[in-house]
Amino acid sequence: MKDYKKIYEEWLSNPYFDEETKEELRAIADNENEIKERFYMDLEFGTAGLRGVIGAGINRMNIYVVRRATQGLANYIIKQGGASKGVAIAYDSRHMSPEFADEAARTLAANGIVAYKFESLRPTPELSFAVRELGCIAGINVTASHNPPEYNGYKVYWEDGAQFTPPHDKGVTEEVLAIEDLSTVKTMSASDAKAAGLYKVIGAEIDDKYIAHVKAQVVNQDAIDKMQDDIKIVYTPLHGTGNIPVRRVLKEIGFTHVYVVPEQELPDGDFPTVSYPNPEAAEAFALGLGMAKKLDADLVLATDPDADRLGVYVKDSKSGEYIPLTGNMSGSLLCEYVLSQKAAKNAIPEDGEVVKSIVTTNLVDAVADYYHCKLVECLTGFKWIGKQILKEEQTGKGHYMFGLEESYGCLIGTYARDKDAVSASVALCEAAAYYKTRNMTLWDAMVAMYEKYGYYKDAVKAIGLKGIEGLAKIQNIMETLRKEAPAKVGEYDVVSARDYKLDTIKDMKTGAVTETGLPASNVLYYDLNDGAWVCVRPSGTEPKIKFYYGVKGTSLEDADKKSAELGEA
């Protein structure tokens, strides 16, 4: 632990820190615990960069922490010989997002690296696209995704358009940590940076190219043309970046009845209509569902603030109710739809691949198998799916068909290297149009999938453990399980235990040990009998430990029952 009192005093006395910051810090002078929380450690680089509560201190998101992160990134880029390629920068609707994006651009410029900053807020997948389109060495996205309003974050992308992975994540992190004195970080005024040609504002030209790629993923325009006037779509961007791009694409491909939830349409960093803007949460849909019932809409879509994740409710024509699809369900449904359409046109190559994270539903394995695609598993985090696309490109082996993760994210096509809720929104509306030509709703299509492949049900339980004590508790849980794999979980026998940190898969019957073949990660996975499984990992973005699990039932009721029992266990 750092000498937090000493660093606090340094921030108060050093002329480098602005008066507003000092005011905020003087206000907590009598609160020992608050001073400790803000200064006991540096805000750490997690799975993709920084994420934390906005405020003054080294363990908070503020302009000084953003400058330091950017200086570390700049140092690494210069050492890699990539300074001439430049860095793309995007940001979302959160508090301080435009300011943090501007600070990052000015620090890059002060290091002689061109910053290409979007003129206004843009979705995460468009930033991923822009990095490759502009031939940049890296990208920065200022967003805290679906975290509560007091948070912001800073995600780093590498030149392949994916969030950075080894060795670059480690390399940048080391450079950031090497900067101990925040006042040594370089910066310059925006006007000087622009005059020097080191600060370029981007916008419409990249938008048009990105939108064209999203539209190019449509697999059945005929179905849209037939049903464009018969499909009613309710959409909410949850006060985020999805509003303009989602509506634009839906309009350009022909949908005529798209209704946006007015209270959630405009960007707002307070996210006033929800406790936190998460399309996984039922509350995010309260206003949209109210609207859908009045309009008798076919489906309700919600994108998170940076528009990489999509939540959806679909109408069941039999009951008249709207049913939520989890990320596993909507991802599987889209995978089935895209592959079935491509198979009908003989457009699935022999080396077709479906890529998923290790905590994603096994229903996708069954879909991939049916369409003779190889299923590739990777670690949690869409950057690993991006890395698989890069591997296919570099080796000439494998052909990416679809990628998804359980956390409400998927990618059709390879124009971006991160999950894309703009594209997923379009694809779900297209699928709804196609199934409507066959007198089916999306819920009917989901049920048909279960009948075809089996009744898979997947869930996740997260336990929040905040602060210093919480971190220790999470580590303790992982270490206890690592030392002694359970022989049973509830009614199920553990067939094999995978430890991705130690790169081992242990057969519980024979004791034989093989390798996982994936990079080291603090994840434990238990294959159970009857197609069930459990996986445990600490969250990479929040102070939580997560338990993922899945079952396969003989009916929806049986799957629900088995899932509830395994969840309890």
C-alpha 65/C-alpha 177 separation (Å) is: 11
Pairing of strands 299-303, 233-236: parallel
The sign one gets for the Cα dihedral 120, 236, 142, 172 is negative
> Where in 363-417 does DSSP place strands (E)?
374-378, 399-405, 409-411
User: Is the distance from CB of 344 to CB of 220 less than 8 angstroms?
Assistant: no
User: Is the distance from CB of 305 to CB of 241 less than 8 angstroms?
Assistant: yes
SS (H, E, C) 409-454: EEECCCCCCCCCHHHHHHHHHHHHHHHHHCCCCHHHHHHHHHHHHC
C-alpha 549/C-alpha 361 separation (Å) is: 9
Residue with the two structure tokens 């409400």: 408
C-alpha 473/C-alpha 43 separation (Å) is: 19
C-alpha 44/C-alpha 39 separation (Å) is: 12
Q: What is the dihedral of CA 110, 113, 119, 122, to 10 degrees?
A: -120
Q: What is the dihedral of CA 153, 53, 407, 215, to 10 degrees?
A: -40
Q: Label residues 318-332 b or e (16+ Cβ within 10 Å = b).
A: eeeebbbbbbbbbbb
Q: Which residues are known catalytic residues? A: 145
